[in-house]
A and B are shown apart, each in its own frame.
Chain A
Amino acid sequence: MRALRTAFLAATLGAVVLHLGSIAMVRAGAAPTIETSSRAGLLAALLALLLVAFGAPSGDLGEWRGAAKLGLAGWAVLAPVSVVAAHHRGLQPYPTLVALVLGAAVAAVAAPQRTERAFDAGGGAAGRGQALLLGLGIAVTSLVLPRTPPWTWIAGVAAALLLPGVGASLLALPRQAGWATRLSWAGPLALGLQLPLLIWLDLFEIPARRPMLVALGPAIALVAWCAGALRRTRSSPNRASEPTP
């Protein structure tokens, strides 16, 4: 099994190298070699299938530390940049930026524990404070920023998605959920609350005019924030110990 794993690994690495090489060659104006990398990719896949059929995952992914990590991370940054540089039109700003972010993101696989901490506990007071700050920020943004892209993008996304989404996440997610979890859920919650409501209105042919669309997000955030505060008040341990009149 160990030999098979090594073979699979080698084949996959080979496929990737061929693939990267073919991209560089195509970009440099050489003959297309996509078929070469396709076949190598297929071979690696067949080996992987064998591994799945006869093998089993062996434990956790473990801690990734050491010189190999640094070397691979460095390569991960350099490889995409070099492929982009091979482009016959020369180095272009946007693809280079994307390649650099790709390199940094791939290098970040070595720091998973760090990411994990951001999703851990801590959504209580800090989450509410951040929601209030976010609300204030959006209000200021909407009033001050000019009505042209990209400012309208920022103000629009914040008002329609982030504000109601973060507000609703404070209510709908457990207290233990960290701010990163809340932020991740903001979009789906905002859409999940607003779209069914708007489709209900549409079903009954009640028009949702622009002022209503503008007010909907902040209104949901406000209601969620008030409901959250009410619930916290009700479940507060001090309340139970209060003397009854």
Chain B
Amino acid sequence: MTKPNPSLEPDDGGSSAEPAGSRSGNWRRWRDALPLALAAVLATLLRGFAFLDDYPSGADYAHHLLAADHYLENGLRMIAYPWFQLGLTHYTQLPGAAMLYALVAASGSPSSFPLAPVTAALGALEVSGVFLLARRLYGPGPPPLLAALACATFPTGPAMISWAGYSNLVGIALTPFALLAWLEHWSRPDRRSAVLTAIAVGGLLGVHHLSSIWLLATLALFTLAMLFAEPRRSASRLASLLWPLAVAAIPAAVRLVEVALISQASGVQAADRLAAFQATRVGWSAWVNMTSPLGIVLAVGILAMLRDKTIRGQDRLAIGCYSLVTLLVVFGWTLGIAFYYVRAVYFLALPIALGFPALVRLAGGASARLALAVTLLAGLGTSSIAQAERDQAFYRVLTPEVVDAVRRLEAVSHEGDVVVCSTVLAYHLPWLIQRPLLPAMPPETIGNSEQSLLAADAVAVMTASSRLEEVLDARQVAFVLLSKRFPESGSDALAVHPRMSLLFQNEDVVLYEVRPR
């Protein structure tokens, strides 16, 4: 076994006969990087399926990019969510992702929306981060490239971009770098490594609350374990990080606390929250749909990696902590943790990719290992292509038909008219039309509990429940816009309800006007 080699301090010997600056030496380095570049391009292309239609697939990107446009225009983060839930709720995303899109748009685009496809390139970023982290774990040679390819072909990235979890994708792409920097500092602490760690961790913390929580929980577990094992050494390492981390992480931490306080503000009881997330518990079918059946084989690689004595103990501890946090959340319902459990599966991509080389090592000779690696990667990649195509078709939320319906709604409605709409349409409507909206969001999709009561009213209308009349009058609802592709269960009854008058419908939406009592 080759001795593990830190990724930021590579070996000099025997790598290239050409001097560093010579033309042929430079060309050789570009050419040498081709295998990793292919992995990066593959990851980008697999995520690119989400951008093949008239509009990017998914719903969530609309509020990220709306926040980016707000930031581009005003220079300050979006605090209130305009029009969404009657404009009465806060926008509870961390500002980092919106700032990132605004930064990229600032140099030449009037809006952030045309920049949505840039998100696919996050796949390349994630792959290169996994490569560097695997290089630290396993040393140079085949393992880092195998880990990078496993990351590129793993289906969760393409799945996440298809429903447009853009800000979480940014966080997940930055995670390997933050872990790598933290581990590098723990191995060889100096001023440079402390600053690098602060930059990597500080950059990630402000992007998405889930990635921030994952990283903070992982680093806290790791640090506690190290403090227990080597108290003095670990305390000195932690102390050297204090100032740089404070400068880089305090603003994001302030925002993170703010988001947590707002999100939990309405006093929804813990038991209610647990019940709301019951439908999202991870079962076999959810696992197969998100990671392909081969995902379970690759998950075994995590165990193989944690048992691999050729990897540094503290590196295994860090990846073990990350995996533990992920598994605790995936199966958190057994411990009374309320969470959208399926969402946690996306965080498994990193340990699964890092465990892949250890899994391949379990096979016998070189040929068997090659056969196993190639077969698993080809199978996983093919599965990802099929899944990316399927998801792109499934999550086709914004279409020319929807835009057409919105234009008609705009023509027949007045500025203050309240519109009850399907959940998926709610993300796009705030940037398409300026009308107070009441999205019928089911409880498990609500991150900010300020929205709970308003959403419950909208659900009562959309499902034609016994409270429909009461809500229509109390909220002064004027229109109902229903998605045909993602209809709320029970919404069929609206078609025959005496208060609903069909104004317009096409392939994707139905627009009702509310009749006076």
- With most chain A CB atoms within 10 A of its CB, the pick from B132, B144, B178, B367 is B367
A233 within 8 A of B: no
Residues of B within 8 A of A80 (CB): 378, 381-382, 385
Bound: A150/B49 CA distance, A:
16
Contact with A along B367-379 (1 / 0, CB 8 A): 1111111111111
* Residues of chain B with a CB closer than 8 A to A126's CB: 20-21, 25-26
B7 in contact with A181 (CB, 8 Å)? yes
The interface bits of chain A over 183-223 (1 if a CB of B lies within 8 angstroms of the residue's CB, else 0) are 11101110111111011101101111110111011000000
Is B251 a contact of A203 with CB atoms below 8 Å?
Answer: yes
Complex CA distance for A6 and B21, rounded to whole angstroms? 48
Cβ-neighbour of B35 out of A98, A114, A195 (below 8 A): A114
User: Which one of A8, A76, A97, A180 contacts B378 once the chains associate, using CB atoms below 8 Å?
Assistant: A76
Counting CB contacts under 8 A, is B345 at the interface? no
Interface size class of B (residues with CB under 8 A): 35 or more
Q: A42-B293, A156-B104 are in contact. Are A181 and B10 (CB under 8 A)?
A: yes
Which DSSP category, helix, strand, loop or mixed, fits chain A's interface?
helix
| A170 at interface, CB cutoff 8 A | no
Residues of B within 8 A of A118 (CB): 29-30, 32-33, 36
How far apart sit A79 and B377, CA to CA, in the bound complex (Å)?
11
A243 within 8 A of B: no
CB <8 Å contact, A199 and B255: yes
Task: Indicate if the CB atoms of B109 and A156 lie closer than 8 Å.
Answer: yes
Is there a chain A Cβ closer than 8 Å to B153's Cβ? yes
Q: Is A125 interfacial (CB-CB < 8 Å)?
A: yes
Within 8 A of A (CB), among B170-203: 170, 173-174, 177-178, 192, 195-196, 198-203
Identify which of residues 461-509 in chain B touch chain A, using a CB-to-CB cut-off of 8 Å.
none
In the bound complex, what is the Cα–Cα distance between A84 and B378 (angstroms)?
A: 13
A158 to B386, CA, bound (A): 32
* Interface size band for A: 35 or more
Whether a CB of chain A sits under 8 angstroms from the CB of B42 is yes
Contacts of B71 in A (CB 8 A): 208
Determine the distance from Cα of A194 to Cα of B107 in the docked complex, in whole angstroms: 15
5 A-B contacts (beta carbon < 8 Å): A9-B368, A13-B371, A98-B48, A117-B28, A188-B199
**Residues of B in contact with A (beta carbons under 8 Å apart):** 1-2, 7-12, 15-16, 20-21, 25-26, 28-36, 38-39, 41-42, 45-46, 48-49, 52, 71-72, 74-77, 95-96, 99-100, 102-110, 114-115, 117-118, 121, 125, 128-129, 131-132, 135, 140-146, 149, 152-153, 170, 173-174, 177-178, 192, 195-196, 198-204, 206-207, 247-249, 251-252, 254-255, 284, 288, 292-297, 299-300, 303-304, 307-308, 310, 357-364, 366-379, 381-383, 385-386, 388-389
Point out residues on A near B: beta carbons under 8 Å.
2, 5-6, 8-9, 12-13, 15-16, 19-20, 23, 26-27, 34, 37-38, 40-42, 44-45, 48-49, 51-52, 55-64, 66, 68-69, 72-73, 75-76, 79-80, 83-84, 94-95, 97-99, 101-126, 129, 142, 145, 147-153, 155-157, 159-161, 168, 172-174, 176-181, 183-185, 187-189, 191-196, 198-200, 202-203, 205-210, 212-214, 216-217
